[in-house]
Structure 1
């Protein structure tokens, strides 16, 4: 009985040592994998429990190892193929061969999508039974972005190539049209040059006529200055006549007063003063007539003075307008000279165009040949773009799940 117990103890001890040795071997393999693996990886069992979570996997997903050990793998990665649709789980149950580069979109802790390529191999116990899987997850965000950009660029290249071919054909047609119409263009340029010459001659005539008008306005302006001066003198002389008339009126008033006094004295003298009274009456009548005449003269002179002032005002306004017109004519002449200078430049440019138009035929022929070559290159670019697009599509098909 003691022998049996001792034998049993030896067997149990052997099993414990074997189990320790297996765990040590497993730990060594995990440590070696952690050191050698350049990509994020994790190990899970057949119940989706995570039993190893590498530092690179922590960095990519945002979960710590401690957090991952408390979660199922499908809760960590939240991919469309996780859970009941887990491709890895189905493969582990049905086969033992490793699988490489399966495209899967996973999500990190912040629920941000990450494009990845997943590779995995079954994980066996000492009896060869599948007990889990080692899954390597490579972040291919950069590659996917490059593939998307390459696809877009290839599409743009195809579009540009088609546009280039179409533009080349249009340019080719235009070049042919330019070649057929170059002679007509030369004639039109010649006609245009003649028209510019005629316009220049007409402007020269306008300048001469304007100069004559300017001289006439200057003469009229001088005449108006003389008229204004004469009216000023006339106004002053009218004022002098008014003063003389006022003096005469004063004398007539005084004479009338003296005649009245003489009549009073004649009445006092009686019969002896009768003759003197007659003379005094006549003097009074003459004084009254003189007063009325001076009044009429004064009124007429006032009207004349007002007319002189109005005429002087109108003449001053006319003189100001004439000076303004003179300034306008000076500016007009200056602008006409500028127009003539511009026309001369246009004529010079037209002559250069006329000379270049004579060479358009040869240039158009060369351009036509060049456009034909461009159209050919555009077609070749379009073919290359189609090939590139096909390669991009094949890469996309290779990287994604079917």
Structure 2
């Protein structure tokens, strides 16, 4: 609710003071007026009731005089002695003269009408009235009697009452009575019905039993018994006086007066509100005058104060309002006098100091780079920065956050207690790491630190909270831990693979060394075979020359033939040995090819291990780079692993190339050895045939002359075959030399591979002994 300004307060104070005085005067005058008006109105009611009762008394007495007048006349007296016609005539005369009467009649001592007439000319003679109250009263000895109440006439709707006068003879004997019946309507129409008090006030009459005998408004109430009505009871009990009563929820005032002759009650009723109408009007006038005077006084005072006091105060108020709303650049304008000038100077000085301190505080708040929020002592948000709105995904929340419950802002649950609420309740700093889910479903790991702060009077102002997003660090920690497990497993696998590679390398090295020795031995045997083939070739050439020279010397030919047969046997033996060596060489070459293929398979496994190790080292280097300074030691280890993997891949590639060369050379050597074996087989067959021929030469030396030319030709063919075998043996020797050189290179490559496998195993051991990255991070 807006507070009233000082202008309003001054005006209200003056107005209240003046209005209080006016109200006192108006209240006194109004109460006095109401009291006087009430008294006047009540007196008027009482006077009206008394006057009307007096009029009724007078009217009743007047009708009684008429009855008494009739009772004393001779014509009336004569009717009781038997001379009724004169009496009837006299009664007609009276009914004609008195228009306000309904009838006149005479009744004897038995209550029988002996003469009588109505205003309508009806003869009442012979009527029986002995049961009427007034007849009974006359016959009982009363001299003048009024009927107990009014009643309807026998004919028509007229209300009448009866006044009866006893008729006596000269000796005082009761003869009967004379009765006059006045029209009661004529009296009430002239006296009761015209009376009005305002719009709702009127008069009415009751008989002494509580029956309504006169009412100006509701004629249906006439002759009705209203004795049970509360106001009727009071009227009958009071007889004379004034009292208040309620009628259908409205306040009424009634004055009553008793008619002495009959005991009937005249009632004058008025509405209490209408009675006070003059006083109310007077009060309204007094209130209007008082308000006018008060308004004029307030206006004069306000105008004077506005110029001298309120104008400068409004300027000060506007200045403080602008400063209070955050506009510290506002200027204080206006003319100030006396104390207000001093106040304005102090106010300017205060605002300057506020600018300095608030600027510092606002600068500190605006300069906070971390997500931050401030909760007031009532657990509602009083300030948030954009960073915490962005972190918690509160769009446009910085404007609407102020005033929210801290639980509603931080957790979307106004009933939830936050760490800031606890810090305010416990009045101590608190910190915690919590898992937070944003409206979009993103999972955050945040560190919350909150601390209460106080003003200069040590009053609690609230709690300031700083939120730190640890999600990436937490995720990196988890990834590093997972990578540690993977690296440890990989290191164990790499160590096992390195052990297997080292063992395979040693076994391969031993096989290559054995193959190298076999190749060297094969080369030596091939050299020996070449020498033997050269000797055989020289021998064959010599046999050819000798055959040509000894065509005529049979004996010499026979000896030479024997010798040749012996030499052919030796050649056959040497060729068989060469063939066996060639077969062994072929088997060795095939085994060497299979071993080279096994080495190639192992090199593929080592290459895959090196690729995987290089990939793991690269991933480890990436995660270490993400970890920053804490992961530098792990990055160095990962780089060494990567370099070792690259060396392993390079050495594996070289060994693979060497093994490929060995496989090609071995395959070529196997092919050549197969051809050499085939040639040696051919030579063996030729040698066998030569031995058979020489045997035939020995047995048929006599026919040698004819066959010398054939022998020479065969020798030449053997020489050519020997030369071809020699060339094959030289080729096999060259292949064996190349195989031996390739085996030496393979042995060196396998040695390098074994050394690198040992280095890899050592590096894995060192990697297992290195502190895990999370330890460094901690």
Length-normalised TM-score, structure 2: 0.26
Higher Cα radius of gyration? 2
Bigger fraction of residues in helix: 1
The structure with higher relative contact order (CA 8 Å, sep 6+) is 1
User: So what's the TM-score if we normalise by structure 1?
Assistant: 0.46
